[in-house]
Structure 1
Amino acid sequence: MKLSQLRILVAVAARQNFTDAALDLQMSQSAVSHAIAMLEQNLGVVLFSRGRHGARLTPLGERIVEHAQEIVHRADEIAKEAELSKGLKGGQVRIASFRSIATHILPGAIAHFHQQFPAISVNLAEHEDYPHVEHALREGQADIGFTFMPASEGLEVWEVIRDEFVALLPITFQPAGSQLSWEELVAQPLIMPPVNYIMMRQVYQHAQTYGYALKVTYEVETDATIVSLVAQGLGAAILPRLAAEPIPAAVRAYSLPVPLERVIGVATLADALLSPAIYAFLDSLKTTQVLVS
């Protein structure tokens, strides 16, 4: 029986799905399935009932996973105590982030931190959106996570940056006045992320507040693809500026008729025992000039 198998057991039990657990663990689904199969073989018992419903713990599995959770927790505490004893001579900082922060903000922040503390390693995990980041924090898979403010209960969060939502239009478009109007924006075919994306809910609500409904012509999941479609002259889009970067020459970004921004913060578990390395990264983050832009 390996600690890694117990971590996988806890993850699958939490998600009740091998695919979702694999995404959380940043492993392939086959590797997760193999680890559970080997654990069941070693123990000589069945831990999960598998079927259309996903993977549900058997009654015995429910009892065993409680012990596994305790073992994983104790192992993490041992690692934290060992790291605390090292001070800033070594250690690791595990960061969970969504793509736009991981791409445009963290490289500069990590480089700045490495200059100050070259002996501390940094592990960066990129997630699809902020609920996955917060889940990684709660499951002990990350020490620090970048999320939107206000964050959910149980997290301590500090504001890092305010990211403006911008309207993206082809360079051939010219607004009638000095700034883009709602009428001009909603008249365009809109190329937008799926309506159920949490990030975009405030955009739709914002437009409705001022009496405008955003009618989507093209629903596209990937930010880069949305920007490329705008560059081809197929319509307009609304994205956070960081998500839209890099903005090509064929696209122009406008502030919304009434400006809107998302507030991004760095979070830790409120009751977490933070190592000196983590405190050092948080302090370094506050002084990194790239975050002030």
Structure 2
Amino acid sequence: MLYHGPTPRLQAGPTPVSHLHPNAQRPMKDNPQNQMKLSQLRVLVAVADHSTFSSAALALEMSQSAVSHSIAALEDHLGVVLVARGRHGARLTPVGERVISHARTILHQADAIVTAAEAVKGLKGGEVRVASFRSIAIHLLPDAIAQFNHRYPGVAVNLSEHDNYRQVERALREGRADIGLTVLPAAEDLDTWVILENEYVVLMPPQFRASKPQLTWVDLTQQPMIMPPLDRVMMRDVYDHIQAHGHHLNVVSEVETDTTIVNLVAQGIGATILPRLAAEPIPSAVQVFSLPDPLSRVIGAAVLADGLHTPAIYGFLDILKALAKPIS
């Protein structure tokens, strides 16, 4: 239960946070004067983000003692220790780590309620937070954001880039993003819409001469391959696909950055396999082929299925869906 009244004063003589064992538990108090408040959750999130009470206080424009009192009151209500203080600052306890994602979600939904109320007569303000992995952010989102800004100039769009779709989905679940661009199919807790199909393409060096118009497995497996690291989420499907056809790649080098890989191929050092959007822009000297048995991944827009979504979020989703490309 959330209480919006004034912050209750602490009882005399509480045990200091720094003296409590992180796993200590106390009975949860249900006194109406000692209820969990949004302001306390904001303080908890600020402490988690800034790792010290002083930095959190500065960010919130509060005194450090007010931050300490807010955390202590929240812990007193819940009956658990959420923050451990030491010489290296403040850190979340294991219980605090479990609580923090829920706190972020509650705060975001509370903000969404305010935004929705203010926008009853139209999209007049607020923000849309979009999470995407880098290749999609580069190629799809600039057009979407430009259209959204033209249509709804009073609404800000904040974009966060992530290394892979798992990080995107984590941002949605932790309340750090409203819309995520992810790989489909996604988990059941997300509502999704298909946006585009991103084919895995083979990039061959300028000197390569194919034995047939269509690339063969023999052509591919005889090439020295420059590949992203095996632990990259997007590459697992590639290796599984090739092994399912009874073949193995001759990987001679692993390189982290897609742009560097493409440039190495252009210099004739080897070949590679990348999602097309990750490979672009592709130099004219590089030869582009589909895999002998083509492979693609489907990219979609996702939101939390049980989330509270503002008109601005639905407006951005409408633009993404309008930009969607049909899947062959």
TM-score when normalising by structure 1: 0.81
1:171–1:114 CA distance, 2 compared to 1 (3 A): same
Unaligned runs of 5+ in 2: 1-38, 58-63, 73-80
Matches within 5 A, 1:29-48: 32-34=50-52, 42=65, 43=68, 47-48=83-84
Measured in 2, the distance between the counterparts of 1:243 and 1:272 equals 30
1:136–1:228 CA distance, 2 compared to 1 (3 A): same
1:75 alignment counterpart: 107
Measured in 1, the distance between the counterparts of 2:230 and 2:276 equals 18
1:269–1:211 CA distance, 2 compared to 1 (3 A): same
1:201–1:35 CA distance, 2 compared to 1 (3 A): farther
Structure 1 residue 83 displacement after superposition: 1.1
**1:146 and 2:181 aligned:** yes
Measured in 1, the distance between the counterparts of 2:182 and 2:161 equals 12
Q: RMSD in angstroms over aligned alpha carbons?
A: 3.0
Q: Structure 2: which amino acid aligns with 1:33?
A: S
**1:128 and 2:163 aligned:** yes
**1:7 and 2:45 aligned:** yes
**1:57 and 2:109 aligned:** no
**1:288 and 2:320 aligned:** no
Q: Structure 2: which amino acid aligns with 1:193?
A: P
Task: Say whether the 8 Å CA contact 1:156–1:267 is kept in structure 2.
Answer: yes
Task: Say whether the 8 Å CA contact 1:97–1:125 is kept in structure 2.
Answer: yes
Task: Say whether the 8 Å CA contact 1:8–1:36 is kept in structure 2.
Answer: no
Measured in 2, the distance between the counterparts of 1:205 and 1:70 equals 36
Deviations 1:30-66 (A, max 9, x none): xx33458767x74288923889xxx6617xxx37974
Measured in 1, the distance between the counterparts of 2:42 and 2:116 equals 23
1:188–1:3 CA distance, 2 compared to 1 (3 A): same
Measured in 2, the distance between the counterparts of 1:65 and 1:202 equals 32
Deviations 1:175-194 (A, max 9, x none): 11111111111111111111
Deviations 1:242-269 (A, max 9, x none): 0000001221211111100011111000
1:260 alignment counterpart: 295
Structure 1 residue 76 displacement after superposition: 2.2
Deviations 1:55-110 (A, max 9, x none): 6617xxx37974x6665444323311111121312221110000001001110111
For residue 166 of structure 1, the aligned residue among 201, 212, 227 is 201
2:310 alignment counterpart: 275
- The structure that has the greater radius of gyration is 2
Measured in 2, the distance between the counterparts of 1:69 and 1:238 equals 36
1:88 alignment counterpart: 123
For residue 249 of structure 2, the aligned residue among 189, 199, 214 is 214
Unaligned runs of 5+ in 1: 12-31
Q: What secondary structure sits across from 2:124 in the alignment?
A: coil
Q: Structure 1: which amino acid aligns with 2:314?
A: Y
Structure having the larger proportion of residues in helix: 1
Structure 1 residue 157 displacement after superposition: 1.1
Deviations 1:133-191 (A, max 9, x none): 01110010000000101112311111110000000011221211111111111111111
Structure 1 residue 6 displacement after superposition: 2.1
Measured in 1, the distance between the counterparts of 2:104 and 2:215 equals 54
Q: What secondary structure sits across from 2:161 in the alignment?
A: strand
Identity percentage of aligned residues: 48
